[in-house]
Amino acid sequence: MPELVFFSGTMDCGKSTLALQIGHNRSARGLQGVIFTRDDRAGEGKLSSRLGLVTEAVEARPDMDLYGYLVGQMSKGAKVDYVIVDEAQFLAPDQIDQLARVVDDLDLDVFAFGITTDFRTKLFPGSQRLIELADRIETLQVEAMCWCGARATHNARTVGGEMVVEGEQVVVGDVNRSPEEVGYEVLCRRHHRRRMTSAAAHAGALSPDVLPVNPA
Q: Is the pLDDT of residue 100 over 90?
A: yes
Is 87 a residue of the active site?
Answer: yes
Residue 7 and residue 138 in contact, taking contact as beta carbons nearer than 8 Å: yes
Q: What is the pLDDT of residues 150-180, one digit of tens each?
A: 888 888 888 877 888 877 776 765 545 555 5
Distance CA 21, CA 148 (A): 30
Q: How many CA atoms within 13 Å lie on the side-chain side of 10? A: 22
Task: Tell me, letter by letter, the H, E, C secondary structure of the chain.
Answer: CCCEEEEECCCCCCHHHHHHHHHHHHHCCCCCEEEEECCCCCCCCEEECCCCCEEECEECCCCCCHHHHHHHHHHCCCCCCEEEECCHHHCCHHHHHHHHHHHHHHCCEEEEEECCECCCCCECHHHHHHHHHCCEEEECCCCCECCCCCECCEEEEEECCEEECCCCCCCCCCCCCCCCCEEEEEECHHHHHCCCCHHHHHHHHCCCCCCCCCCC
% residues pLDDT > 70 (the chain): 81
Set 3, 44, 56, 87: catalytic member: 87
**Please, which pLDDT band fits residue 206 given cuts at 50, 70 and 90?**
very low
How confident is the prediction for the chain on average, in pLDDT? 84
Most confident of 46-50, 74-78, 161-165, 203-207: 74-78
Q: Which of 30-34, 147-151, 172-176 has the lowest mean pLDDT?
A: 172-176
- Note the pLDDT of residue 42: 55
Distance CA 62, CA 65 (A): 9
**Whole-prediction pTM value?**
0.75
